[in-house]
Amino acid sequence: MSAGNNTKLGIALMVATSVVFASQDGISRHLAGEYNVYMVVMVRYWFFAAFVITVAGRKAGGIVAAARTSRPVIQMTRGALLAAEICVMVTGFTILGLVESHAVFAAYPLLIAALSGPILGEHVGWRRWAAIGVGFIGVLFILKPGLGVFDPAAIIPLIAAIMFATYGLLTRFVARDDTAATSFFWTGTVGAVGMTAVGVWFWQPMTGPDWLWMGALCITGSLGHWLLIRCYEVAEASAVQPFAYLQMVFAAGVGIVVFGELLEINVVIGALIVVGAGLFTLWRERQQS
């Protein structure tokens, strides 16, 4: 996927992507609060897989070209890991809410930076290591360990962040040999197969209105991915990636306005520290490249 140089359009698309994904998170929280998480994610992946296959079919070479990979095991691992991460994160939404879950999950770029050295052999200088350390101080602000109010469930979004960071690193690794279209195809199809194998055992009948919400969840998922693809087609990833943090802001707004969640001061302080450290690591990575 060749990046263009229309940075303004790329930023606008990333902001739109953040709004759509934040809406998707709100719908996921509602549905997972009423039905089994595995079933909700399974139906979401059915629509996602159909979208991925449709996109692949319209590209040169069709589905065969999109499925061609030199690293099938890693591609399957990526797809399964992302599906599992979504299940963990949606579970976090139902237990902790959108505000705190996203505040902790915002640490995933720091985890990618920390693990890129030992896993991918990339150089991580002392400045980025310092930013990673500061960022995890921010995570501690959010979690409040040792103050008598620590909720073990707060570890859930941190586990999701670790899983997503690992997924991101594996995506970087396979990008050395496979195209973005190939990785996208394997992400959707493997996730759909894996979630179907698990989710069918947890099927629950849904009400008519909730089927409408499920339809909205599927549409926002595919729309969000399409916007993200367009974003990276028109602008460099390093220029637009910082604006992905807006998803946390929009999701927090949904949590506060729709679900009546509270915005505690420790979460605000911790999130600002985490985001600041993450933006610094992104800036250093861009400087290095």
CA distance 2 to 40: 34
Q: What's the pTM value of the predicted model, to 2 decimals?
A: 0.86
Q: Is the pLDDT of residue 49 over 90?
A: yes
Q: Average pLDDT in the 87-98 region?
A: 93
pLDDT at 34: 93
Lowest mean pLDDT of 74-78, 271-275, 285-289, name the range: 285-289
Q: Average pLDDT in the 106-132 region?
A: 75
pLDDT at 151: 67
pLDDT at 2: 44
pLDDT at 120: 67
Cβ contact 25:161 at 8 Å:
no
Cβ contact 68:242 at 8 Å:
no
Q: Average pLDDT in the 237-254 region?
A: 82
Place of tokens 């549409």: 219
Task: Give the angle subtended at the CA of 83 by the CAs of 80 and 89, to the nearest 5°.
Answer: 140
Phi-psi region of 144 (alpha: psi -120 to 50; beta: other; left: phi over 0): left
Q: Is the pLDDT of residue 131 over 80?
A: no
pLDDT at 190: 95
pLDDT at 238: 65
pLDDT at 148: 45
CA distance 72 to 190: 11
Residues 6+ apart with CB under 8 A from 262: 99, 256
Give Cα 149 distance to the centre of its chain. 28
Lowest mean pLDDT of 74-78, 227-231, 258-262, name the range: 227-231
φ, ψ of residue 41 to 5 degrees: the values are -65, -35
Burial class (CB in 10 A: 0-12, 13-18, 19+), 261: buried
